[in-house]
């Protein structure tokens, strides 16, 4: 499913609008960390990953695990745009309402095409190890991409997994840190500093890249480099902006976990024309 | 009443040993089985599998949370992962991952706790587990099994591996007294009546089955016919066997190597309350942690031997008569 950078930028803008709209409709949710992840998720779902949305259980598919499950809106919008049978685009605005398939955090019981149910932070990278180990055991080409938040990696289990993946030489596993610098209570540096980040992942044995997570070319190149890196997993430290694309949300801790008001939704959609 | 054969304690292999041997056998039969262990394979006995199938053994280091989540990832990819550690570490350090990554998405992960209860002995309370059954039963959709001896452990673990969905197998460190003969049939969720009786029922599992059998012999000499049920499956409970025991014998003692606040006893009491209420007494660990010592010394000191079971029966029978 190869697509040009320009095509991806159009999709990314559409997904940003859907994120704002669905969280606005839900009157709750996490806009900041959904918007910061858009370029990465779009490159994966619309260019890099070997997937067949019409055949979501294809055994040789690549898999995406949203370990920072609170950014569910970006995943829902991307899967809906990609055309999975169980993520209808016209239902996105039912997010977080009773009976909706679009649960507050990704839930496989409602959307079987999801690769995992996530939400409790710190756990997705380990899932990626299990998936990577199984793919290698079966001789499948499947690769697994795990996106984590920068606040999320304060969880100890992340570092258990960070130690284990290079030990098992899982070069079919790619970790992405959405390094937007903000968590619920404020700036990451004020809550629990995680820097220096790239140095930590390198020290644990990962092939580590640092990129601008909003530059679609840099994102594409990083995944291409990960694909040809053998013998060790790759970690992409993606410098991003929380709330990217909506001026009053950008770099504003308030919009980690607060929905925009109807007036703010209108303003945001205007900016995202 | 015809004279029963007296129960004799004959030590057999530990249930962890039975688990380890069966796991290696199953490894030969099913290539999808993958085993995860956190630096305890020589104690959990996954070492037999690891030696035979090194490529299907995931060494996780001393990191139970990561191990449990890796197993969930393996299950997502269609493997049948078995994770094992001491019950204390498996359930306490792995619980969050068992809840969010195994129970909630209902993944086919097989969880095995070894060194359960206080009978592991000399290592003391940090390694002991007095709450693993409570935790396992608190995981929605889990099947929870606590076998008494080698033969039942082998059969029930095999049956559990054939199920699709998460299970917890509770095994122990010490040699397990032989309860069953080869060929005995077991079914998950169906209690085994190991001794018949009409005056009172002792519902038990694990190491306490042997103690209940000894107690039943003592009671017989006092003219009391005690039924003994091996409730090897704690979840789902054999509700019908419990209802019948309550209705037919009118008094129940539950004996387990676990905190009495939260294990088999309270679960049985719930069923008794819902079906045929009758007096009940509970033998188990009472709101405390144990200490270092030999298995027999510990079971004796913490009130988990035949003497304690028989005393509870006399108490419940007094209540039944009053």
- Give CA–CA dist A150/A182, Å, rounded: 8
Predicted local distance difference test score (pLDDT) of residue A1: 60
Backbone angles phi, psi at B19, to 5 degrees: -60, -50
Write out the H or E segment, with its range, that includes residue A110: none
Backbone angles phi, psi at A149, to 5 degrees: -90, 160
**If we measure between CA atoms, which residue out of B143, B131, B70, B132 comes closest to residue B106?**
B143
- Would the CB atoms of B63 and A137 count as touching at under 8 Å? no
Burial of B141 (0-12, 13-18, 19+ CB in 10 A): middle
- Where do the domains of chain B lie? 11-177, 192-321
Q: Which of B17, B64, B131, B132 is catalytic?
A: B64
Question: What share of chain B in percent tops pLDDT 70?
Answer: 99
For CA atoms A106, A256, A195, A229, give the dihedral sign.
Answer: positive
Domain that includes residue A119, residue range: 5-271
> B69 and A127: CB-CB below 8 Å?
yes
> Whole-prediction pTM value?
0.96
Q: Which phi-psi region, left, alpha or beta, contains residue B39 (left: φ > 0; alpha: ψ -120 to 50)?
A: left
| Chain A environment of B68 (Cβ under 8 Å) | 126
- Closest in A109, A130, A142 to B71, CB measured: A130
Count other C-beta atoms under 10 Å from residue A248's C-beta.
Answer: 13
Question: What was the pLDDT predicted at A42?
Answer: 98
Instruction: Characterize the bridge pairing of strands B143-145 and B233-235.
Output: antiparallel
Distance in Å, alpha carbon of B237 to nearest chain A alpha carbon:
26
- Which CATH number goes with the domain that contains A219? 3.40.50.970
- E-assigned strand segments in A78-198: 144-149, 173-179, 182-183, 186-187
- According to CATH, the topology of domain B192-321 is Rossmann fold (3.40.50)
For A223-240, how does the pLDDT look when each residue is reduced to its tens digit (9 = 90+)?
Answer: 999 999 999 999 999 999
Give me B79's structure tokens. Answer: 């493997």
Residues linked to residue B36 through DSSP beta bridges, in sequence order: B58, B83
Asked whether the CA dihedral A119, A120, A123, A127 is positive or negative, the reply is: negative
Q: Find out whether B230 and B186 touch, Cβ atoms under 8 Å.
A: no
Model pLDDT for residues B226-263, shown as the tens digit of each residue: 999 999 999 999 999 999 999 999 999 999 999 999 99
Residue B64 annotated in active site:
yes
Kindly state the tokens that stand for B272. 């008794």
**Partners of B212 in beta bridges:** none
Instruction: Judge whether B60 is closer than 8 Å to chain A, CB to CB.
Output: yes
Tell me the pLDDT of chain A averaged across its residues: 97
What pLDDT score does A2 carry?
A: 84
Question: Which of A130, A155, A158, A168 to mutate to probe the B interface, most B CBs <10 Å?
Answer: A130
Contact assessment for residue B29 and residue A111, using Cβ atoms and an 8 Å cutoff = no
Identify all chain A residues contacting B63, using CB atoms and an 8 Å cutoff.
157, 160, 163-164
**A–B CB contacts, 8 A cutoff, strictly below:** 98
CATH topology assigned to domain B11-177: Rossmann fold (3.40.50)
Cα separation of the two ends of chain B: 25
What ipTM does the predicted assembly reach? 0.95
Domains B11-177 and B192-321 are alike in CATH topology: yes
Task: Output the pLDDT for position B5.
Answer: 78
**Of the candidates B55, B63, B76, which has its C-beta nearest A137's C-beta?**
B55
Cα–Cα dist B172/B178, whole Å = 14
Q: Three-class SS of residue B38?
A: coil
Whether residue A134 and residue B96 make contact (CB cut-off 8 A), yes or no, is no
Q: Quick check: A180 and A142 in contact, CB under 8 A?
A: no
pLDDT given for residue B4 in this prediction? 62
To 10 degrees, the CA torsion angle through A108, A51, B76, A161?
Answer: -100
Interface check for B100 against chain A (CB to CB < 8 A): the answer is: yes
Considering its fold, how many domains does chain A have in total?
A: 1
pLDDT of B276-315, one tens digit each?
A: 999 999 999 999 999 999 999 999 999 999 999 999 999 9
Chain B residues close to A142, C-beta within 8 Å? 77
Cβ neighbours of A161 in B, within 8 Å: 66, 69-70
Interface probe, candidates A61, A134, A135, A204, chain B, greatest B C-beta count within 10 A: A134
Q: Which of B61, B63, B76 sits opposite A127 (nearest CB)?
A: B76
Among B66, B74, B105, select the one facing A160 at the smallest CB separation: B66
Residue B2 has pLDDT above 50, yes or no: no
pLDDT tens-digit profile of A60-114? 999 999 999 999 999 999 999 999 999 999 999 999 999 999 999 999 999 999 9
């Amino acid at each position: 499913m190869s697509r040009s950078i320009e095509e991806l930028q159009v999709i990314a803008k559409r997904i940003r609008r859907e994120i704002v709209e669905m969280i606005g409709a839900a009157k709750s949710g996490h806009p900041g960390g959904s918007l910061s992840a858009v370029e990465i998720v779009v490159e994966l779902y619309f260019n890099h990953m070997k997937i067949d949305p019409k055949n979501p259980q294809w055994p040789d598919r690549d898999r995406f695990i949203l370990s920072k499950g609170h950014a569910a809106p970006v995943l829902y919008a991307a899967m809906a745009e990609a055309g999975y049978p169980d993520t209808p685009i016209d239902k996105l605005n039912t997010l977080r309402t009773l009976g909706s398939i679009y649960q507050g955090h990704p839930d496989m019981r409602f959307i079987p095409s999801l690769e995992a149910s996530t939400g409790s932070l710190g756990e997705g990278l380990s899932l990626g190890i299990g998936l990577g180990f199984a793919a290698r055991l079966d001789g499948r080409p499947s690769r697994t991409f795990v996106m984590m938040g920068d606040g999320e990696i304060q969880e100890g289990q992340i570092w258990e997994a960070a130690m284990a993946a290079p030990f098992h030489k899982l070069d079919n596993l790619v970790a992405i840190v959405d390094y937007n610098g903000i968590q619920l209570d404020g700036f990451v540096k004020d809550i629990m500093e995680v820097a220096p980040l790239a140095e930590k992942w390198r020290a644990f044995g990962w092939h580590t890249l640092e990129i601008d997570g909003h530059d679609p070319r840099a994102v594409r190149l990083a995944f291409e480099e990960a694909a040809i890196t053998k013998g060790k997993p790759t970690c992409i430290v993606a410098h991003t902006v929380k709330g990217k694309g909506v001026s009053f949300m950008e770099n504003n801790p308030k919009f980690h976990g607060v929905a925009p008001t109807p007036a703010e939704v209108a303003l945001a959609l205007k900016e995202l024309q | 009443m015809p004279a029963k054969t007296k129960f004799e304690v004959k030590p057999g292999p530990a249930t962890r040993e039975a688990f380890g041997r069966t796991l290696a056998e199953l490894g030969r039969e099913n290539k999808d089985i993958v085993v995860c262990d956190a630096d305890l394979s020589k104690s959990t006995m996954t070492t037999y599998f690891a030696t035979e199938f090194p490529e299907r053994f995931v060494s996780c280091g001393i990191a139970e949370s990561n191990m449990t989540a890796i197993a969930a990832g393996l299950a997502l990819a269609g493997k049948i992962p078995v994770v094992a550690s001491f019950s204390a570490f498996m359930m306490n350090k792995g619980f969050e991952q068992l809840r969010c990554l195994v129970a909630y998405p209902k993944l086919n992960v097989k969880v095995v706790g070894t060194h359960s209860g206080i009978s592991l002995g000399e290592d003391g309370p940090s390694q002991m587990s007095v709450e693993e059954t409570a935790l396992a039963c608190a995981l929605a959709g889990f099947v929870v099994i606590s076998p008494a001896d080698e033969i039942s452990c082998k059969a029930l673990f095999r049956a559990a591996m054939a199920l699709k969905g998460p299970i917890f197998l509770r095994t122990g460190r010490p040699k397990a007294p032989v309860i069953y003969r080869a060929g005995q049939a077991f079914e998950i969720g169906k209690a085994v009546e190991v001794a018949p009786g009409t005056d009172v029922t002792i519902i038990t599992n694990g190491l306490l089955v042997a103690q209940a059998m000894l107690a039943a012999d003592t009671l017989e000499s006092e003219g009391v016919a005690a039924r003994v049920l091996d409730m090897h499956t704690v979840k789902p409970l054999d509700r019908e066997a419990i209802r019948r025991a309550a209705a037919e014998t009118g008094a129940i003692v539950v004996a387990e190597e676990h905190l009495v606040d939260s294990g088999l006893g309270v679960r049985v009491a719930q069923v008794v309350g819902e079906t045929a209420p009758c007096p009940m007494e509970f033998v188990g660990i009472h709101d405390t942690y144990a200490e270092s010592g030999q298995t027999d010394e510990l079971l004796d000191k913490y009130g988990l031997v035949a003497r304690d079971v028989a005393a509870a029966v006399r108490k419940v029978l007094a209540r039944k008569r009053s």
